[in-house]
Amino acid sequence: MVLIIFSTLWSARVNNTAVGTEVIGIVGLTLLLVIVGAVQGLLHLDHLFSTGAVSSSGWLTLGGLNSAGPFMLAFLLGAFTIVGFEAAANLAEETQDAHRVVPTAMWFSVLLSGIVGFAFLIALNLASGNIATLTASSTPVADIVTGTLGGVVGKIFLVLFTFSIFACGLVIFITGSRLVWAMSRDQRFPGYQVFSQVNKSTGTPVAATLLSGILIEVVLAAFAGWGIFTNPTNAANQTTTLFSLFSAATLLPAVIYLATVILYIFARRKLPETHGFSLGAFEWPVIILALIWLLFELSIFRDVSFTTPWIYSLMMFGLGLIYFIWMLMMRPKVLQAPPQEGGGQLTTYYGYRSRIVLNCTLSGDRL
């Protein structure tokens, strides 16, 4: 939080470094797992087609009303990859040549994350040893890395990934604070008089950043507390809490994405003309594919194991809907007015480097 408040320049540098270490680390780790595993005879080609500890019976089924089949659940890997691709858009007002840079960053980050991540998953499957043991482990990826490369080399890579995860949280923090500030600037956020202010000495929205930090801690504490409450006998090993947290961080954006696509269908003719990027003839095919994917993704979350993420997501969506209805009734002119263009003080301070957008999107995709 201190870094984000006092130095956007150093926040960008940390993120740029983390993206480099992540890409190099993932590619290097993928190659090392395959090479070392092949030399030591630790690779298992049959694991690429194995169902693991799950029975092969019913593997390809869609599931029931409150359950999803194992193969269907595997599609959530794609959902986890896509989440965060819009991080570039949240920084568009503070980016040079945003009409060109932001769309490129969004599709390129998903493409790169998908290719590199898929190769890494293949390497992990090849190097996985005892599947039953890994299934029971709370850190299967770390176990595979250290088991194949040894403790020292494995831990070096884990340190690199830890740094990348830190930068990922940093970027999420930045985009959250910018969303609060932008909505406050347009008078669409509670307490906008305070959260729209930009500190003259740091050039950053200090109040919006502090609020984002507090809300993040509240959400993390709520999930941790719920995990301890529901599983008091194993409070030290909260793997279920992490599962719920990551699932909620994917489910809620999916709901928001779906709402955004539906709103775009009805309002696209009223939007200002775009510059630098257009889907052209691919607009409707992309819209249709997006709707199909989002509806399919949400159908996977019908599984009973996602009850807690659904409760959290519906609560957040409900709060947002209540506030929107209040704005619609009490301050309709604010909603009718188009958002302001330009980032004001943030633009002159933060728009020095356009490539931060690509790096922020790559960081967002890590989750």
Read off the pLDDT of residues 19-69 as tens digits, 9 standing for 90 and up: 777 777 788 888 989 999 999 888 888 888 887 777 777 778 888 888 888
Distances (CA, A) of 174 to 5, 17, 150, 192: 9, 16, 36, 18
Predicted structure pTM score? 0.78
The two tokens of residue 228 are: 């301890």
Q: What number of other Cβ atoms are within 10 A of residue 113's Cβ?
A: 23
Enumerate residues 6+ apart whose C-beta is below 8 A from 124. 33, 141, 144
| Average confidence (pLDDT) over 208-217 | 90
Q: How many CB atoms lie within 10 A of CB 364?
A: 23
Q: Which amino acid is at 141?
A: V
Share of the chain above pLDDT 90, in %: 13
Helix (H) or strand (E) holding 63: strand 63-64
What is the β-pairing status of strands 67-68 and 63-64? Answer: antiparallel
pLDDT at 191 over 80: yes
* pLDDT attached to residue 285: 94
pLDDT of residue 150: 84
Assess contact for 101 and 358: CB atoms under 8 A. Answer: yes
Amino acid identity at 170: L
Which pLDDT belongs to residue 367? 38
Residue 206 to residue 212: CA distance in whole angstroms: 10
Residue 6: band (very low, low, confident or very high) from pLDDT cuts 50, 70, 90: confident
CA-to-CA distance for 136 and 139, rounded, in angstroms?
A: 9
Measured at the CA of 163, the angle between CA 158 and CA 169, to 5 degrees, comes to 125
Q: In sequence order, what are the beta bridge partners of 68?
A: 63
Please give the average per-residue pLDDT across 202-209, as a whole number: 85
DSSP 276: S
CA distance 244 to 246: 6
The identity of residue 143, as a single letter, is D
What gap in Å lies between CA 67 and CA 69, rounded to an integer? 7
Angle of helix 307-330 relative to helix 239-267, nearest 10 degrees, comes to 40
What residues contact 329, with CB distance under 8 A and at least 6 apart? none
pLDDT digits (tens, 9 = 90+) for 301-351: 998 889 888 998 889 888 988 998 999 998 888 887 777 665 455 544 343
Answer yes or no: is pLDDT of 217 > 70: yes
pLDDT in tens, 91-120: 776 667 777 778 887 888 788 878 888 898
pLDDT at 84 > cutoff 70? no
